[in-house]
Amino acid sequence: MLPLRKNIAEMAGYVPGFQPEGEGWIKLNTNENPYPPSPKVAEAIIAEMSRGGENLRKYPDAGSKEARRVAAELYGVDPSWVIMANGSDELLNNLIRAFAGEGEGVAYVHPSYSYYATLADIQGAKIRTFGLTDDCLIADFPNCYEGKIFFLTSPNAPFGFGFDNDYIAELAGRCAGILVVDEAYIDFTTVSAMELVKQYENVVVTRTFSKSYSLAGMRLGLAVARPEVIAALDKIRDHYHLDRLALVAATAALQDQEYLQSTVSRICETRDWFSAELRKIGYRVEPSLTNYIFAEPGDRCGKRVYDGLFDHKILVRYFSDPLLKHGVRISIGSREEMEQALTAIIETS
Ligand SMILES: *Cc1c(COP(=O)(O)O)cnc(C)c1O
């Protein structure tokens, strides 16, 4: 027998969205962006690779100083309030490692991002989940949640609605530990909880470059929180967690907000068109503030839609969870991809 920790031996491990081999698939299953990243990103990477990649000889800047400075300027905070990361998943992991010891409480909303549970399992933390009410609020949230961390995905995944800041502020007041607002999809909407970080000591906001910035393949994320929280996260991360190419990519992407806005608005336009078309053929589609929709067919059989689209080499996300099996989550691709998806949905229904 391997001398594994008991919780590691017993945990299942996370299953990421399917990444198909071979050509010809339309991937609408992992909320990737259909458009390339800002051209400034490739320019920055090519510049970093000049002289035969001579710079790669040297370690990167362990403190991500330039990327933090640019992010801090963008969000109107001091750089000591910002940390960069190897995907926002690294931050979620390190927040648990920093705040929740073995047997201590970690909570999140179900349904939302199930990776929180895997990360809490690794740490041996005690997991609690809260459901949603019909009004899209947290069901039975205590006056004071005593656990160390509560993760709030806002906008929600996979339903796509947002929580307003008054409500998030109220939750912050009801958390004895920290409230992590996972804003993976915030660029597709307008209201962010970022201002609450300054008002509430226990609020941390995390962001990813994987969706709105089209950089899932670079692995980049960031968090904004008070300097004491950032200092703790800096202590426990791998010192060279971001390589030179990722660092210049992050800086270039953050500096091109105009490009970000242009791709985001194209995606939102396609989303609204696609949602309306699905409603015309009898689907129920929740209004979404993100780059995906949760779509429920008339017969409430998500698996049938998933299988029908799979046969057309179109991948969407089906969750067998009882709260989600009546629909599918469909990422918003390019207009052409969504036209093909619509045709396939009509053919399979
Ligand atoms: C995609 C996603 C993440 C992970 O982002 P990475 O930066 O790719 O690690 C985190 N939270 C939510 C809710 C997501 O959808």
At 111-143, the pLDDT tens digits run 999 999 999 999 999 999 999 999 999 999 999
> 16: pLDDT confidence band, cut at 50, 70 and 90?
confident
**pLDDT of the residue at 177:** 98
Q: Is the pLDDT of residue 33 over 90?
A: yes
**CATH class of the domain comprising 39-255:** alpha beta
User: 118 CB under 6 A from ligand 1?
Assistant: no
CA distance 114 to 48: 36
At 262-296, the pLDDT tens digits run 999 999 999 999 999 999 999 999 999 999 999 99
Site of tokens 């081999």: 21
**pLDDT of the residue at 87:** 98
CA distance 149 to 152: 10
User: 29 CB under 6 A from ligand 1?
Assistant: no
When pLDDT is averaged across residues 167-179 and rounded to a whole number, the result is: 98
Site of tokens 């007041």: 173
Q: Hey, what are 108's tokens?
A: 């999140």
Nearest residue by C-alpha to atom 5 in ligand 1: 88
CA distance 317 to 331: 8
* Amino acid in the structure at residue 62: A
When pLDDT is averaged across residues 218-230 and rounded to a whole number, the result is: 98
**pLDDT of the residue at 59:** 98
Site of tokens 């990649």: 53
**pLDDT of the residue at 120:** 96
Nearest residue by C-alpha to atom 15 in ligand 1: 184
Span from the CA of 217 to the centroid of ligand 1 (angstroms): 12
**pLDDT of the residue at 349:** 79
**pLDDT of the residue at 19:** 85
Taking the mean position of all CA atoms in its chain, how far away is CA 127?
20
Q: Is the pLDDT of residue 107 over 90?
A: yes
- What separation in angstroms does the CA of 200 have from each of 86, 124, 153, 327? 26, 28, 18, 37
CA distance 141 to 119: 22
**pLDDT of the residue at 20:** 87
Total H helices, total E strands in the chain: 13, 12
What is the average pLDDT score of the chain?
97
Domain regions of the chain by residue span: 6-30+258-348, 39-255
Pick the CATH number of 6-30+258-348 from 3.50.50.60, 3.20.10.10, 3.40.30.10, 3.90.1150.10: 3.90.1150.10
CA distance 178 to 15: 27
At 40-97, the pLDDT tens digits run 999 999 999 999 999 999 999 999 999 999 999 999 999 999 999 999 999 999 999 9
Whether residue 158 has a cis bond before it, omega within 30° of 0? yes
* Amino acid in the structure at residue 161: F
Query: Can you tell me whether residue 298 is helix, strand or coil?
Result: coil
Orientation of helix 335-348 relative to helix 302-311, angle to 10°: 110
Q: Do domains 6-30+258-348 and 39-255 have the same CATH topology?
A: no
Ligand 1 atom having least distance to the Cα of 112: 13
List alpha helices for the chain, DSSP H: 6-10, 39-48, 50-53, 65-75, 88-99, 115-123, 165-173, 194-199, 227-236, 244-255, 257-280, 302-311, 335-348
- What separation in angstroms does the CA of 208 have from each of 184, 202, 205, 224, 238? 5, 20, 10, 12, 18
User: 87 CB under 6 A from ligand 1?
Assistant: yes
Query: Can you tell me whether residue 209 is helix, strand or coil?
Result: coil
**pLDDT of the residue at 1:** 82
At 293-327, the pLDDT tens digits run 999 999 999 999 999 999 999 999 999 999 999 99
pTM: 0.97
User: 206 CB under 6 A from ligand 1?
Assistant: no
Using alpha carbons only, give the angle 137, 267, 25 rounded to the nearest 5 degrees. Answer: 105
